[in-house]
Amino acid sequence: MMMKKHITRTLVASAVLFSFNSAAATSYSEARNDAMGGTGVASSHYGVAPLANPALLTKAGPDDDFSLLLPSVGAQLSDPDNITDNADRISDDWKAFDRAIDSNHGVPEAAARLKERLRDFRHTHAAAQLGVSAVAALPGDRLSAALMVKSHGTVSVDGKVSDADLTYLEEVANSTGQEVDKSRLTSQAFARAALITDVGIALATELETAGQKWSLGFTPKFQRVDLFNYNVAGQKL
């Protein structure tokens, strides 16, 4: 019997989103399941079943011999506060503040501008998600099997501005000739990221009890979790 190969190539990309409702319910990216709101646990094609529900490997058709998903890629980004541009503006205002202090000219004005910029940066937030997966599925009459590899990452960036910084900059802005201590300014940007990688072999079989057919599937897998933590001071943005 001639082997029929079904190769699926999927690319999903969403440039700017303000919510992650569909992706939040899953730890993988696959175009059809994402488009259906993450309902793949009940409706996945057998070729992507190991990503959502390995029991669905038994739902291959009689003419299905092999399925290859290579690769499935998904990305989402939410940056409603335009955090990159805000960070660039803060960097410019910090440099102007430094120059004003070094030249002892225009310090109150530079402090006032920096204070307003930090106030705008105070509650900024950006987040992104990225998923990559590949599946090779081999359906069978008694036992279906698949090799699954997937990696799912999420990252968030937040601006943290202290009340003490805003108060101190206001004092400098309202003063004349006050000596400035830049070490008192402690505002930062925080970045957090997590990357989860799974490699597993999915197995599934169909059983019948009292005239009712049902599917049983499981996926023994190796999982690696990488966590990242990065903080940068406001003056170094």
Positive or negative, the CA dihedral 162, 168, 171, 173 is negative
Those residues with Cβ within 8 angstroms of residue 88's Cβ, 6 or more apart along the chain or in another chain: 237
Q: What is the pLDDT of residue 22?
A: 41
- Split at pLDDT 50, 70, 90, the class of 72 is confident
Coil/strand/helix, residue 63: coil
For residues 193 and 16, the model is more confident at 193
Say what the pTM is: 0.73
Those residues with Cβ within 8 angstroms of residue 170's Cβ, 6 or more apart along the chain or in another chain: 111, 112, 115
Q: What is the pLDDT of residue 2?
A: 35
Q: What are phi and psi of 119, to 5 degrees?
A: -60, -40
Q: What is the pLDDT of residue 94?
A: 92
The CA distance from 171 to 168, in Å, is 5
pLDDT single digits (tens) 132-152: 999 999 999 899 999 999 999
For residues 145 and 17, the model is more confident at 145
